[in-house]
Each structure stands twice: as structure tokens, then as C-alpha cells.
């Protein structure tokens, strides 16, 4: 017990220091000194991209960046009005009219299934699927389908969307890619099979970190499972960006880091970069930050040993049973 507390204290200290030095705006500007400008000059005219949670923050910036480079963008939003507003802003600021709204609530398996069967009728190849929608709900909320809300959106929503869209993603092989927006917060959590925080007192921040760790492990699993289908699976984290989500879920953090956080565009930079990079330069299953592959574990944080095949296989079995 004492050792566990000591490890947790070390983990959160290491995370705080590493995050402060790298995840803020100054970290982005420092890392940007090594960026190649040409990487972002590629066009992706005619490529079909899906971005979930696209009406706000990093998702909006991603959809905008993809549309600016000529892609046909399907923006998945849960709210029709907010979605329509975002679509029309992107159409007018980019001049790209091939930007469309799809309404889907990712906290509902029923809704994801209904969206996917509707969308599949288009029978088009999907070149890039960006799993961006996410939230940090501090209190325990149960969805109408009976799932803990953070888990429902961050894990089950990401899993369901990816698995159900795979037949369309596969159509764009060998260039197909799935990009999932995780969080640096996942460094704080080992992989656990307690997906809905059933043991112990519920803690939203911890649950969010667990969810984001699962996304990293799922990406590894997908890369291994579908490696022969010409699909690249990448997971990234955006650093700390000033978005409506952060302001609502982490008000004290947001206030104390006022002026130090990244913009949404800076948070979305690596997502767009992953969509544009030639696939042979990327590692499927890899975790990316500021246009580079980075470690999935902090030194001495004792998260690596949990990251084994047994845990993720059992998590996948659970997720399949919910689909």
C-alpha cells in the first residue's frame, strides 16, 4: 500500500514537471523550431475524412485544417445547431463546400450503430477517421444505456466508431488511417480492466486518464489486428490547449494556466500532421506528440508492466459484449 502511494506520488510529480515543460504553449513553440513547414503544405483534395466532436476546440481546428487542404470533411457532432454553425463557419473560412454535418451522440451505442448504417449507404472510402470527441465529467453520470459517461464517450464511442467504420476505412487502403486523440493525462494511469470505475470512490480525472490509456492500448491492438488491411492506426496527445472542454471540466487548471495554454490550432497540429504525412514515415500503433513518436510511459512510473496483451484482450472482449 505504502509502495503504491509512493509510486502514484512519483507518477503525478513526474507528470506535472514533464507536462509543465512540454505541454504548455511554450513547449509547443520550442518543439515547433524543429517542424518542417513543408509537412503541412501537402494537399489532400478529394480525400474523405471523418472528425468526431468537430464543432468545438481541437476537433473544430482539425476539421478546419483538413478542409483547408482540400479534403471532404464529415463533421460528427451530437448537437445539430452547434454542428450546423461549425460547418458553415468552416465552409466560409476555407471556401471548401465539401464539408458536411453528421449528427451522432457518441455516448450511445445505439446512435453510433444507426449513424454507421446510415453513413455506410454512401459506400465511399474513408481515408482518415479522427476519433477526437471526448470529455472529462467529474461526477459519476450514467448514460441512458447504463454506461459511465466518460467511458461511454472516450472508450466505447471511440471503439464503436472505429470498428463500425472499418469497412469504409479499408476501402482507402493502402493510405487509410485512424487517428485517435488521447491525452498526456494517460501517463498518470496504468491500463486497467475496471473500465467503468466500479471499485473505489469515483474520481473523474482518474477515470479520464484511465480512458485515455485504454485508447493508447486499443491503438496498439488495432495496429496488430488489422496490420494486413493497409490501415495505419495512430494515437496522439495535443498537450494542454485552451478549449471549451478544458474551461468547463478543469476550471482551476484553466485559470492557473491562463495565457500559458496552447491554442486549439496548436493542439490540432499533430492530428493534421498525422493525416498528411506519408504513411511509410509513421509507425502504426505509435503514440505521437508534437509531430514525433514519443514514449507511452514516463520513466519509473510503473505503468508499463500493466500494458500487457492479457489486459487489452480482456478489455476488447468487454467492449465487444457492449456492442
Ligand X SMILES: NC(=O)c1ccc[n+]([C@@H]2O[C@H](COP(=O)([O-])OP(=O)(O)OC[C@H]3O[C@@H](n4cnc5c(N)ncnc54)[C@H](OP(=O)(O)O)[C@@H]3O)[C@@H](O)[C@H]2O)c1
**94-102, 196-204, 232-240, 290-298 -> range binding ligand X (CB under 6 A):** 232-240
Residue from 151, 233, 234, 240 in contact with ligand X (CB under 6 A): 240
Lay out the site mask for ligand X across 21-40 (x = CB under 6 A, - = otherwise): --------------------
Residue from 181, 195, 235, 312 in contact with ligand X (CB under 6 A): 181
Shortest distance in whole angstroms from residue 250 CB to ligand X: 8
Closest Cα to residue 240, out of 119, 94, 136? 136
**4-12, 100-108, 196-204, 293-301 -> range binding ligand X (CB under 6 A):** 100-108
Closest Cα to residue 192, out of 287, 301, 307? 307
Angle at 179 between CA 282 and CA 295, to 5 degrees: 55
Residues 52-91 that bind ligand X (CB under 6 A): 53, 55-59, 78-79, 82
Shortest distance in whole angstroms from residue 92 CB to ligand X: 19
CB of 105 or CB of 163, closer to ligand X: 105
CB of 209 or CB of 301, closer to ligand X: 209
Shortest distance in whole angstroms from residue 111 CB to ligand X: 8
Q: Quick check: 51 and 76 in contact, CB under 8 A?
A: yes
Catalytic residue among 74, 159, 187, 208: 208
**24-32, 39-47, 131-139, 196-204 -> range binding ligand X (CB under 6 A):** 131-139
Residue from 245, 257, 273, 297 in contact with ligand X (CB under 6 A): 245
- The three state secondary structure string of the chain is CHHHHHHHHHHHHHHHHHHHHHCCHHHHHHHHCCCCHHHHHCCCCCCEEEEECCCCHHHHHHHHHHHHCCCEEEEEECCHHHHHHHHHHHHHHHCCCCEEEEECCCCCHHHHHHHHHHHHCCCCCCCEEEECCCCCCCCCCECCCCCEHHHHHHHHHHHHHHHHHHHHHHCCCCCEEEEEECCHHHHHCCCCCCCCCCCCCCCHHHHHHHHHHHHHHHHHHHHHHCHHHCEEEEEECCCCECCHHHHHHCHHHHHHCCCCCECHHHHHHHHHHHHHCCHHHCCCCCEEECCEECCCCCCCCCCHHHCCHHHHHHHHHHHHHHC
Size, binding site for ligand X by CB under 6 A: 28
Residue from 25, 31, 127, 237 in contact with ligand X (CB under 6 A): 237
CB of 24 or CB of 172, closer to ligand X: 24
147 catalytic per annotation: no
Lay out the site mask for ligand X across 253-282 (x = CB under 6 A, - = otherwise): --------------x---------------
Residues 135-164 that bind ligand X (CB under 6 A): 135, 153
CB of 226 or CB of 289, closer to ligand X: 289
Residues that bind ligand X (CB under 6 A): 53, 55-59, 78-79, 82, 105-107, 132-135, 153, 181, 183, 237-238, 240-241, 243-246, 267
Residues with catalytic function: 208
Amino acid at each position: 500500500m505504502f509502495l503504491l502511494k509512493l509510486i502514484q506520488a512519483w507518477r503525478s510529480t513526474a507528470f506535472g514537471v514533464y507536462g509543465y515543460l512540454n505541454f504548455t504553449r511554450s513547449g509547443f513553440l520550442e518543439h515547433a523550431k524543429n517542424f518542417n513547414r513543408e509537412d503541412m503544405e501537402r494537399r489532400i483534395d478529394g480525400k474523405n475524412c471523418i472528425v468526431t466532436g468537430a464543432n468545438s476546440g481541437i476537433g473544430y481546428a482539425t476539421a478546419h485544417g483538413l478542409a483547408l487542404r482540400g479534403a471532404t470533411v464529415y463533421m460528427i457532432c451530437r448537437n445539430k445547431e452547434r454542428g450546423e454553425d461549425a460547418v458553415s463557419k468552416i465552409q466560409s473560412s476555407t471556401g471548401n463546400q465539401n464539408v458536411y454535418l453528421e449528427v451522432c451522440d457518441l455516448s450511445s451505442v445505439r446512435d453510433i450503430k444507426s449513424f454507421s448504417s446510415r453513413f455506410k449507404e454512401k459506400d465511399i472510402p474513408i481515408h482518415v477517421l479522427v476519433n477526437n470527441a471526448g470529455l472529462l465529467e467529474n461526477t459519476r453520470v450514467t448514460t441512458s444505456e447504463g454506461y459511465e459517461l466518460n467511458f461511454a464517450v472516450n472508450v466505447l464511442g471511440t471503439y464503436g466508431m472505429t470498428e463500425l467504420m472499418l469497412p469504409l476505412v479499408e476501402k482507402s487502403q493502402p493510405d487509410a488511417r485512424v487517428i485517435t486523440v488521447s491525452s498526456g493525462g494517460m501517463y498518470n494511469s496504468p491500463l486497467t480492466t475496471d473500465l467503468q470505475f466500479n471499485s473505489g470512490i469515483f474520481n473523474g480525472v482518474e477515470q479520464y486518464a484511465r480512458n485515455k490509456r485504454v485508447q493508447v492500448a486499443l491503438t496498439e491492438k488495432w495496429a496488430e489486428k488489422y496490420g494486413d488491411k493497409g490501415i495505419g492506426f495512430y494515437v496522439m496527445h495535443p498537450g494542454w490547449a485552451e478549449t471549451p472542454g478544458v474551461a468547463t471540466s478543469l476550471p482551476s487548471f484553466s485559470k492557473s494556466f491562463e495565457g500559458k495554454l496552447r491554442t486549439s490550432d496548436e493542439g490540432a497540429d499533430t492530428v493534421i500532421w498525422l493525416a498528411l504525412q506519408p504513411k511509410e514515415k509513421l509507425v502504426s500503433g505509435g503514440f505521437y506528440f508534437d509531430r514525433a513518436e514519443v514514449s507511452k510511459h514516463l520513466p519509473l512510473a510503473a505503468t508499463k508492466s500493466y500494458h500487457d496483451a492479457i489486459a487489452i484482450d480482456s478489455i476488447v472482449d468487454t467492449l465487444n459484449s457492449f456492442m
